[in-house]
Amino acid sequence: MQHFSLSENNHLTIIIIYTMRKIFSIFAAMTLCLPVMQGAIKVHTIGDSTMAEYDESTTDKRGWGMYLGSFFNPSFVTVNNRGKSGADTRGFYTGAAYWPSVKSQMSAGDYLLIQFAHNDEGNDSNLAGLDNREYAAYCKEKGLPAPSDARGTNPQTTYRDFLRLFIDEARELGVNPVLVGPICRAYFSGNNITRKGQHDLGDKFAKIENGELKQNQSVPATDLSMSYVEAMRIVAAEKNVPFIDLTEATRQLYLSYGESQCLSLLFCTGDKTHTNAMGGNLVARAAAQLLKNEGVLAEYIDIPTDITANPAAINIGETYCSVPQNKEFLLTGYGLEPTAGTVNLSASANLLISLDKENYASTAQASYEGGSMFQKVFIRANYATGGLHLDTVYATSGEHKVAVPVSAMAIALDGGAAVSAFWAIGAKPVPSPVVEGPISAEFTMSQMACIDYNAVKNYFVDGDETNIILARFHNSADGSSRTPWPAGEIDENASRYLDFAITAPAAMDVRITRIAMEIASDGTSTMCYHLNTGFGDEFTGVTTIYEKRNMTSRVIEHVDLTPTLTIPAGEVLHVRILPWHDYGDVKDSKYIGLRNVRIEGMAFEPGEEGIEEVQRDKVQSTKVLRNGQIIILRNGVEYTLSGQIMK
């Protein structure tokens, strides 16, 4: 079961009556409406994309960290999932927006779950297992191009070193570290998962020996010197830290389904690394069981065999009036009695629900058989008036009912000043933006180069329209000339991006209402990208608002998003395109094309004038915009949107 607070999942206190092995947990939230109290213990999770948070409206990818909180008693434990897509141990430790940020959120008595390896292995199969810094020094000595991807550690040296740093610095804060074996990749070989799938590079790795690069190295299967899981196990024993073998647990899980069913049911389409909702939920369940077996927070862990909602409540957060927001939750159950049944779903005023993400209504009906249920329920919320809205989805089977509270802060955009920045982008150099309203805007690049000089590439296609011109961008080590794309990339490289920045005026907040662009690949259909937002020079508060994999070459995609983003007065919002080339070999002359990037919004003066109120169940809730900060008033207590009680 998952705990909700103003900082995470609800503006309401949810009092959950735990009934072990009964069908459905029972909520008393909407009638009692007590002030929000967070669980006394926080579990912080750090790791890579297999753990990270994802927006269900942009991708079917789900990190297992998204579901872990559902297996803790929310009265005592909450989960702060800080998994980062594309991160290895070094990148997470050194990234200003990652480890330092997590440390600032930790308190004595908290727990830290550490899961890394996928990106530590490196993203060039010909350099697997080689520490990137060591390889960069080798390239410099030999006069070779510097590696464009900073990821990669060695399981015998730097990987262990960074694990030790996480452990030591957590303990200095009074936090309890736990090492978590990285989940397997679904690399099947007959009735097993390959060594590489289990994060053992013993079949093929690279090393630098006596000043020379040696590739295609191998060691016997009994030699675990290139196993990241074994390296983690050794550090756990050395540091006397609990270790849970989620690698072996996921290997067993995948094999129990078999290759075909595992890939079709548990993983994203065409992906053997990233789980979907069902896979993420089952991995989180396995992790919770391992923690309980190890005695880590065991008294607060519940592995239900009943039907439960995951998450148990949904906080949409801020949203604009009349702009639909899509969310989802899972109805899951294992070992159910009776073994077959029906669940009736209904939604209150501002919500519609769907089981197929196409047909939405106020009611729906789901069934299960074989003693197991796994049903994704899609929610569409739309608010006509501003203020705090409290709605509910009910799931009922016989006399048993589970309520999933849905909260949102709807914002009316009346009275603001329109702002926009527009980059046409037809060729090199990238033009200055056309800016309207009291904002400033800027374009920058990192490890990318705009390649087109005089030759105009006009072979892009947009529906029936042909001969369209887009500026093309390529991977670049020096920011000016073309550098081949690394081999084997499966995720973003946080150091490679195209950045569009908007700065709010000193005395006005800016609410972003639209981010749009036309984008295409050239020379390949294996180009992928993330569209991320973040704030300030350190790019904090990173959110992936869009993902596209395997773009069809030379076919233009129109991206047109309606995010809910506020740039506080004087601060900077960055909108970044982070491309990668998902191919097994090093490749050159592969491009991402771009034009007509547009960011729009409304600017408002901070102050007391933005007060909105809602009355429900005899509890007064007030939203105040005070000096650029949104404050929630409930029962005489002031909360920030991060869930902290105002002093």
CB 344 within 8 A of CB 361: no
Mean pLDDT of the chain: 86
CB 414 within 8 A of CB 463: no
Q: What is the DSSP string of 104-136?
A: HH--TT-EEEEE--TTTT-S-GGGTT--HHHHH
Residue, of 211 and 11, whose pLDDT is higher = 211
Residue, of 398 and 373, whose pLDDT is higher = 373
Q: How many CB atoms lie within 10 A of CB 435?
A: 16
Which secondary structure element, helix H or strand E, spans residue 286, and what is its range? helix 277-294
One domain for residues 100 and 245? yes
The pLDDT, as a whole number, for residue 88 is: 96
489 three-state secondary structure: coil
Residue 16 has pLDDT above 50, yes or no: no
For residue 614 the two structure tokens come to: 């809602």
The pLDDT, as a whole number, for residue 628 is: 45
Over residues 51-72, the pLDDT tens digits come to 999 888 778 899 999 999 989 9
One domain for residues 393 and 446? no
12 is a domain residue = no
| Band (399; pLDDT cuts 50, 70, 90) | confident
The pLDDT, as a whole number, for residue 455 is: 52
Length of the chain: 647
| Band (401; pLDDT cuts 50, 70, 90) | confident
* Total structural domains within the chain: 3
CATH number for the domain harbouring residue 193: 3.40.50.1110
CB 155 within 8 A of CB 226: yes
Residue 7 has pLDDT above 50, yes or no: no
Question: What letter does residue 361 receive in the DSSP assignment?
Answer: B
**Backbone phi, psi, residue 395, to 5°:** -120, 120
The pLDDT, as a whole number, for residue 619 is: 36
Residue 642 has pLDDT above 50, yes or no: no
566 is a domain residue = yes
Q: What is the DSSP string of 26-63?
A: EE-HHHH-PPP---SEEEEEEE-TTT----TTT-S---
Q: What percent of the chain has pLDDT over 70?
A: 87
The pLDDT, as a whole number, for residue 197 is: 98
Residue 515 identity: I
The pLDDT, as a whole number, for residue 407 is: 94
Distance CA 18, CA 599 (A): 47
One domain for residues 262 and 313? no
The pLDDT, as a whole number, for residue 614 is: 38
Residue 583 has pLDDT above 90, yes or no: no
Over residues 499-549, the pLDDT tens digits come to 999 999 998 999 999 999 999 999 999 999 999 999 999 898 888 999 998
Residue 641 has pLDDT above 50, yes or no: no
One domain for residues 422 and 546? yes
Residue, of 222 and 538, whose pLDDT is higher = 222
Q: Which residues contact 211 (CB under 8 A, 6 or more apart)?
A: 138, 141
Q: What is the DSSP string of 546-560?
A: EEE-SPPBTB-EEEE
**Backbone phi, psi, residue 217, to 5°:** -85, 155
9 is a domain residue = no
Domain that holds residue 509: 417-604
CATH number for the domain harbouring residue 320: 2.60.40.2310
One domain for residues 485 and 402? no
Tokens 């209402």 -> residue: 513
| Band (631; pLDDT cuts 50, 70, 90) | low
Over residues 73-118, the pLDDT tens digits come to 988 999 999 999 999 999 999 988 899 999 999 999 999 999 999 9
Residue 638 has pLDDT above 70, yes or no: no
Lowest mean pLDDT among 364-368, 443-447, 484-488: 484-488
Residue, of 12 and 455, whose pLDDT is higher = 455
| Band (637; pLDDT cuts 50, 70, 90) | low
CATH number for the domain harbouring residue 440: 2.60.120.260
Query: CA angle, 155 as apex, 152 and 160 as ends, to 5°?
Result: 100
Question: Among the three residues 411, 444, 469, which one is the final residue of a domain in this structure?
Answer: 411
Distance CA 568, CA 628 (A): 6
Distance CA 111, CA 77 (A): 10
CA distances from 178 to 114, 236, 359, 416 (A): 6, 8, 43, 48
Over residues 337-380, the pLDDT tens digits come to 888 999 999 999 999 999 999 999 999 999 998 888 899 999 99
Question: Among the three residues 355, 390, 411, which one is the final residue of a domain in this structure?
Answer: 411
Q: What is the DSSP string of 373-413?
A: EEEEEEEEE--SS-EEEEEEEEEEETTEEEEEEEEEEEE--
Q: How many CB atoms lie within 10 A of CB 209?
A: 8
For residue 452 the two structure tokens come to: 């087109």
45 is a domain residue = yes
One domain for residues 156 and 183? yes
**Sheet (strand 314-320) strand order:** 314-320, 400-411, 387-397, 341-347, 363-368
Nearest CA-CA partner of 617 in 452, 373, 438, 391: 391
One domain for residues 278 and 395? no
Distance CA 423, CA 445 (A): 14
Ranges 200-214, 422-436, 479-493, 592-606, most confident:
200-214
pTM of the model: 0.74
Over residues 293-319, the pLDDT tens digits come to 999 999 999 988 788 898 888 999 889
**Average pLDDT estimate for 380-384:** 95
Distance CA 542, CA 206 (A): 33
612 is a domain residue = no
- Rounded to the nearest 10°, the torsion over CA 134, 139, 145, 150 is 0
One domain for residues 421 and 405? no
One domain for residues 366 and 486? no
Residue 78 identity: T
**Backbone phi, psi, residue 529, to 5°:** -160, 155
218 is a domain residue = no
- Rounded to the nearest 10°, the torsion over CA 439, 444, 446, 452 is 150
- Give the distance, in angstroms, between the CA of residue 266 and the centroid of all CA atoms in the same chain: 17
**Average pLDDT estimate for 612-622:** 40
One domain for residues 436 and 531? yes
Beta-bridged to residue 379, according to DSSP, are 327, 353
Q: Which residues contact 453 (CB under 8 A, 6 or more apart)?
A: 427, 428
Question: Among the three residues 300, 316, 331, which one is the final residue of a domain in this structure?
Answer: 300
| Band (282; pLDDT cuts 50, 70, 90) | very high
- Residue 588 burial by CB count (10 A; 0-12/13-18/19+): exposed, middle or buried? exposed
User: What is the 3-state secondary structure of 131-177?
Assistant: CHHHHHHHHHHHCCCCCCCCCCCCCCCHHHHHHHHHHHHHHHCCCEE
334 three-state secondary structure: strand
Cα torsion 88, 91, 92, 98: sign: negative
| Band (263; pLDDT cuts 50, 70, 90) | very high
217 is a domain residue = no
The pLDDT, as a whole number, for residue 306 is: 81
Residue 417 has pLDDT above 50, yes or no: yes
Distance CA 54, CA 559 (A): 18
**Average pLDDT estimate for 148-177:** 96
CB 427 within 8 A of CB 338: no
Distance CA 482, CA 450 (A): 9
546 is a domain residue = yes
One domain for residues 483 and 583? yes
One domain for residues 407 and 438? no
